[in-house]
Amino acid sequence: MRLTIVDDGFFQDSHPTYTRLTGFPDADPRLAGLILNHRVINGIFDDLTPSHDYFGEGFDEWTYPDTGIWNPERNTDSFVHAMPAWRDSGVIAFTIGLQGGNPFWTSPPPEGVRLEDLDSGAFEPDGKLRAAFMARLKRILDRAGELDMAPIVNYFYQHQVCCIREEALPQAVDNATNWLLDHGYDGVIVDLANECTDRSYPPALQPDGIHELLHRVRDDVDLHNLRSGKERRLYVGASFGAWASTAVQIARVPESFFRAVDLLLPHGNQRTTEEVQRAIVAMRERSRAVLGRTLPIVYNEDMADPRTASGVDSSGDLAHLHACVEAHVSWGNLIRTHQAVPCQAWIGGGDVQDAWFAATRALAGAPLPPQSVRKLYHRI
């Protein structure tokens, strides 16, 4: 199913998400037009850092316990294997990153470790794409299409963007965007820069300057459609962090940012439910003031406590989920076992994951088979 944005909601093949015509006949009516999602950012991760095949020790060592070696293909295999269970639980969207995210159990990472010293992303220094990473991404996006899921593809991560020369960032944007289009993906959400409010980004990826690269994604889509005769669409935004109040941050975001995005991608880490509710009001008021309309809001990361001990799972506050649904806002969870490498527990990883999927199942109800399966059934 092709994802589209209509007003401030999400539709699949011209119908609101979480309705009978999009595969969820028993869903809570408040879910219509939303996308429940989670952050599984390291699904195509690999460690290309010179001088070591893996990093860390104990829980932070990303070799597989049964083999003693790291295997990026196995990591992606287990991701793809879990995807049907996510959809069956009502989670129809996910964020996957070209440069991944923090692969350690804790945030910040273990003492003495700098994420900037790793080389674990899909971009070469000149902005070219690494074929092995993109082959893994293709497996994930193809499976998402079969399952009627809505991927959010993050291009840049604040602690890995240093692996790309600053002058090569426009080329990196072109390469990633054209790769998506050339491989036939349509309706994908692009999170151009994870937490673009982070001051470690170069100026071109910070709120005051990122509008140029956001518009570049749009231009790449338009040029591709002119060349190919297609009518493809990517929906572009850039997430902002929650280490400071979202309501305060949004007041500082320039109008140029709002005019360049299709949706807002806030993070809810370490915020209270009341702060999330105030942030939603602030984002809507600001988008109305700038654009005369509201933008869709998708929380695509939320973690209550990132500083738990290694091996102790944690996630976002599920009270945020219910507050967002009540306000007609999409919410996304960050579960530590969904991000720490190797990600051996994409599903069924313990009490924290069980609570997340129980909450989403209660809202979404039992789904119908994805459209691709229903079409095959009718042909038979």
| pLDDT values of the chain reduced to their tens digit, one per residue, 380 residues | 999 999 999 999 999 999 999 999 999 999 999 999 999 999 999 989 887 655 656 655 778 888 888 899 999 999 999 999 999 999 999 999 999 999 887 777 777 888 998 999 999 999 999 999 999 999 999 999 999 999 999 999 999 999 999 999 999 999 999 999 999 999 999 999 999 999 999 999 999 999 999 999 999 999 999 999 999 999 999 999 866 677 788 888 999 999 999 999 999 999 999 999 999 999 999 999 999 999 999 999 999 876 777 778 889 999 999 999 999 999 999 998 898 888 867 887 789 999 999 999 999 999 999 986 555 444 44
Distances (CA, A) of 37 to 23, 130, 364: 16, 27, 12
The pLDDT value given to residue 65: 82
Quick check: 347 and 353 in contact, CB under 8 A? yes
DSSP state of 295: P
The pLDDT value given to residue 107: 73
The pLDDT value given to residue 207: 95
d(C-alpha 136, C-alpha 44), whole Å:
6
DSSP state of 14: T
d(C-alpha 295, C-alpha 258), whole Å:
9
The pLDDT value given to residue 380: 43
Quick check: 30 and 85 in contact, CB under 8 A? no
Element (H, E) at 173: helix 169-182
The pTM for the full model equals 0.95
List of residues 6+ apart from 332 with CB closer than 8 A: 36, 37, 38, 39, 93, 95, 298, 299, 300, 301, 302, 316
Amino acid at the residue 43: G
Number of domains present in the structure of the chain: 1
- The domain of 165 spans 3-379
Which tokens belong to 167? 């002058």
Q: Which of 305, 171, 193 is nearest to 241 (CA)?
A: 193
Q: Phi then psi for 103, rounded to 5 degrees?
A: -85, 0
Element (H, E) at 94: strand 93-97
313: CATH: 3.20.20.70
